[in-house]
Copies of this chain bind each other. A is one copy, B any other.
Amino acid sequence: MTPHTNDTRNPTQVHAILQGPASSVHATESVEDYLERIHELIESKGYARPIEIAAALNIKQSSVTKMMQRLHDRGYANYEKHRGLTLTAAGVKVALSIRKRHQYVSEFLRMLGIDEKCLQLDTEGIEHHLSPPTMKRLAAFVDYLREHPEVMEDFRNQP
């Protein structure tokens, strides 16, 4: 159990100086990545085991176990030792959100003509930094470009 969550809102990051309206404590990048993978695994195989999560994230199993505890404590997952892990509604919500951001960012970078390997790597980082307004506008723009292929075509045929 979370020991008295004394909060103090200090998850160590200069990068998220959200001028704290305090509402929800945002999921960290790491938590988003875990939930993204876990949700994919559950979807495709029906369960998410530490060994596979670790492989998917390219980290060690023991790190995964630790995070599973954390996901449970933070209300993103239900977890019992040796008994598997499922996502809560909150966890699914984050997973679907990050998936959508991932998809739009990667599609946009693909439109820009960036090498697939590189694109995947950058997407994994960028996806965590799209606020809802930005996501909305980017999605609309990508949709627009998809339906107007002449734009990117003209861009690519530039001098």
Show the binding face of A for B, using Cβ within 8 Å.
Answer: 1-4, 13-18, 29-30, 33-34, 56-59, 109, 112-115, 118-122, 124-126, 128-131, 133-134, 137-138, 140-141, 144, 148, 151, 154-155, 158
Contacts and interface: CB of A to CB of B under 8 A. Distances in A.
* Chain A interface helix/strand/loop/mixed: helix
Contact of A30 (B4, B57, B118, B124): B4
Contacts of A125: 2, 15-16, 128-129
Given A4-B33, A140-B158, A155-B141, A14 B59 contact: yes
In the complex, the count of this chain's copies comes to 2
Most buried by B among A125, A126, A138, A151: A125
A130 B13 CA distance: 19
Contacts of A17: 57-59
B121 A2 contact: yes
A104 B131 CA distance: 18
A124 to B, nearest CB: 4
A49 B75 CA distance: 42
A125 B110 CA distance: 20
B126 A129 contact: yes
